């Protein structure tokens, strides 16, 4: 059995991007380790969500614990860097923010954990972090460097299949979905990568219940009325039923992979 480490920026990223893969690997007997760079303390939170005296970092840690149990995570570690906030915010440049942390320094911390776990697989993000968030881009930089330092055999970049989303957006009405409009409307052309770059497509249809329950566990960030959770079941399955990755140094001309662990 393999040890697979998933490196994410904030609580809830693990569920959205790789939750189905994590649940599937755990069900197959593999050791799933989740590492978050930050506590997500700068996330937005609805008024009245937090208890008196409760801070967002504490709430999100509890939510992440709950989601981790649902997804079968064997070990969870927060590296303790500061949340950098959304792109262009002054918090990007704050002392201690993950975005401003030296890449080699942060990679060294993660590499020690990878060596301790004897990780067979590490998953980080693509070069743009999926959608350009500073902390996500830094996860890419730090994750791949840490994997190199620790000599992890298989390195992956979790990503978004841009072409798949564009195809689904054209069929939104067919699945009873009304995409957000105005300021909250997604720009699919800027998300993820072209389909031709993807090397690995993991079928997680059998684990969508776990993925949805893990999303709901992150209630401070993903409400039941959110676009994610308000989708009809068929639409949810179409959007989330496959999770996409790019294998670093994948052999040229290799067939599309269906798992992160291969022959390990």
> Which CATH number is 24's domain given?
3.40.50.10320
Q: In this predicted structure, what is the pLDDT of residue 237?
A: 95
- Domain assignment present for residue 162? The answer is yes
Domain interval for residue 177: 3-247
Residue 30 phi, psi (nearest 5): -80, 155
Residue 81 neighbours by CB distance under 10 Å: 22
In a domain, 230, yes or no: yes
Inside any domain, residue 259 = no
What is the per-residue pLDDT across 46-57, written as a single tens digit (0 to 9) for each?
Answer: 988 999 999 999
In a domain, 253, yes or no: no
- Cα 137 from Cα 50, distance rounded (Å): 29
Please count the structural domains in the chain. 1
| Geometric angle at alpha carbon 60, from 88 and 231, rounded to 5° | 80
Q: Considering the domain boundaries, does residue 261 fall inside one?
A: no
Does 212 fall in a domain? yes
- Chain CA centroid to CA 180, Å: 22
> Does any domain span residue 185?
yes
CB of 262 closer than 8 Å to CB of 154: yes
The full DSSP string for 193-246 is B-GGG--EEEE-GGGHHHHHHHHHH-TTTS-TTSTTTTS-HHHHHHHHSEEEEE
pLDDT digits 0-9 by tens, 1-45: 999 999 999 999 999 999 999 999 999 999 999 999 999 999 999
What is the pTM for the complete model shown? Answer: 0.95
Q: Is residue 264 part of a domain?
A: no
Predicted confidence (pLDDT) at residue 242 exceeds the cutoff of 70: yes
């Amino acid at each position: 059995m393999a040890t697979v480490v998933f490196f994410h920026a904030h609580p809830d990223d693990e569920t959205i991007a790789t939750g189905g893969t994590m649940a599937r690997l755990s069900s197959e007997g593999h050791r799933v380790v989740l590492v978050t760079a930050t506590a997500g303390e700068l996330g937005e939170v609805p008024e009245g969500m937090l208890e008196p005296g409760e801070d967002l970092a504490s709430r999100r840690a509890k939510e992440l614990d709950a989601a981790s149990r649902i997804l079968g995570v064997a070990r969870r570690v927060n590296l303790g860097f500061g949340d950098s906030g959304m792109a262009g915010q002054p918090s990007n440049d704050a002392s201690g923010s993950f975005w401003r942390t030296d890449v080699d320094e942060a990679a060294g911390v993660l590499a020690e954990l990878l060596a301790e776990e004897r990780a067979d697989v590490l998953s980080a993000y693509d070069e743009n972090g999926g959608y350009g968030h500073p902390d996500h881009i830094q996860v890419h930089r730090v994750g791949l460097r840490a994997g190199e330092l620790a000599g992890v055999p298989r390195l992956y970049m979790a990503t978004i299949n841009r072409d798949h989303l564009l195809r689904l957006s054209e069929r939104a009405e067919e699945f009873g979905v009304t995409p957000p409009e105005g300021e909250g409307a997604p720009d699919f052309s800027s998300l993820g990568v072209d389909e031709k770059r993807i090397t690995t497509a993991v079928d997680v249809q059998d684990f969508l219940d776990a993925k949805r329950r893990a999303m709901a566990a992150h209630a401070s960030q993903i409400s039941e009325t959110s676009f994610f959770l308000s989708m009809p079941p068929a639409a949810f399955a179409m959007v989330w039923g496959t999770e996409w990755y790019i294998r670093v140094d994948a052999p040229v001309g290799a067939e599309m992979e269906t798992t992160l662990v291969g022959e390990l």
